[in-house]
Amino acid sequence: METYVSLLELIGTVAFAASGALIAMKKHMDLLGVIVLGVVTAVGGGILRDLILGITPPLAFRDPADALVAVATSILLFIPWLRHRLMHNQRLFDVILLIMDSIGLGVFTVMGIWNALAFDPDRSTFLLVFVGVLTGVGGGMIRDVLAGNMPFILVKYVYACASLIGALACALLWKILPSYAAMLVGMLLVLIIRLLAAHYHWNLPRADDVE
């Protein structure tokens, strides 16, 4: 199980770091800016989760592995030939950003629940769902604020709703399925909902009628 969790965390870290780096490059940031956005996107949600759970210092500061993976991912995407290809192909950029952000959202939503239960198996379902969603969307919110964008959670294709549904499914299934199966179902739900929402342009009602 530890290997499974470590692999999920690695996948999520790379995916979220890539989404942060892509947003930074779209904003024409320098290498430092790309690295900063990559790192905060990858570890920001986990830091918020740990603060809510009373885990201090947060795990991201105890083990630099995730931050180093995020730095490496950001630098890799900044390589000139790769950066130029992404920046000059809007469709490719949008598809990769969507996939990376969706994978990161799904992985970190269920990882939030895993970490909460690892420190206290008696957490309430409400807390598990809250922590799962916060872990999933937290890094992206910080990324968007630093990039000067409206956070995806507020406007983008049922973003938080996808995380909420996945977190709820994972927390409820945890009681009747093996933990790895509950995490897999929750993660896949988030990913599928996000991709379907983007493809079919599903959005919650907006206040477009306000003058």
pLDDT tens by residue, 114-149: 999 988 888 899 999 999 999 999 999 999 999 999
Sign of CA dihedral 66, 67, 72, 77: positive
Identify whether the C-beta of residue 46 lies closer than 8 Å to the C-beta of residue 66. yes
d(CA 112, CA 13): 13
Separation of alpha carbons 106 and 138, rounded Å: 13
pLDDT of residue 205: 78
Kindly tell me if the per-residue pLDDT of 156 is higher than 90: no
Average pLDDT over residues 72-87: 94
pTM: 0.92
DSSP state of 1: -
Residue-level pLDDT at 123: 85
